[in-house]
C-alpha cells in the first residue's frame, strides 16, 4: 500500500492550470488518508467559482487510482478552512508575488 507521503508526492502532478503550480505547493491539498487499498484526498480550491475545479478533482482521482495497490479513491472538496494565500509554500508565494 502507498504511504500518505507517497500519495502527497504523486499529487504534485496535479496542477491548477490558471496558476501554473501544483495543488501541494498552492496549499490546496488539506489531507490524505490511506486505509489499505483505499485513499481519501481532502482538498479545496482557490475560490468557490473556480472554473477548473472539476478538472482538478478528476486529475486527483486519476493520479491516486494509478498508484500501485490503490483500489478505491474518494476525493472530498471542502471549504473549511477557506483557502488563502498564506497556505501556499514559500516558493509558491515567491513565484506568484505573495512574498
The per-residue pLDDT for range 23-53, each reduced to its tens digit, is 999 999 999 999 999 999 999 999 999 899 9
38: nearest Cα among 2, 4, 70: 70
In a domain, 90, yes or no: no
In a domain, 8, yes or no: yes
* Integer Cα distance of 73 and 46 in angstroms: 22
- Provide the percentage of residues in the chain whose pLDDT is more than 70: 99
How much is the mean pLDDT over the chain?
Answer: 96
Helix, strand, or coil (residue 14): coil
Give the number of domains in the chain.
Answer: 1
Residue 99 pLDDT exceeds 80:
no
In a domain, 94, yes or no: no
In a domain, 97, yes or no: no
In a domain, 98, yes or no: no
Does residue 57 contact residue 77 with C-beta atoms inside 8 Å? Answer: yes
In a domain, 93, yes or no: no
8: nearest Cα among 20, 23, 19: 23
pTM: 0.94
Domain that holds residue 27: 4-82
Q: What is the CATH number of the domain that holds 32?
A: 3.30.300.130
In a domain, 95, yes or no: no
In a domain, 60, yes or no: yes
Amino acid at each position: 500500500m502507498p504511504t500518505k507521503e507517497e500519495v502527497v508526492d504523486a499529487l504534485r502532478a496535479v496542477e491548477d492550470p490558471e496558476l501554473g503550480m501544483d495543488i501541494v505547493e498552492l496549499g490546496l491539498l488539506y489531507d490524505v488518508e490511506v486505509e489499505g487499498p483505499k485513499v481519501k484526498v481532502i482538498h479545496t480550491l482557490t475560490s468557490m467559482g473556480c472554473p477548473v475545479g472539476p478538472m482538478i478533482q478528476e486529475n486527483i482521482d486519476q493520479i491516486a487510482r494509478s498508484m500501485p495497490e490503490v483500489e478505491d479513491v474518494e476525493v472530498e472538496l471542502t471549504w473549511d478552512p477557506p483557502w488563502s494565500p498564506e497556505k501556499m509554500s514559500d516558493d509558491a508565494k515567491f513565484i506568484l508575488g505573495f512574498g
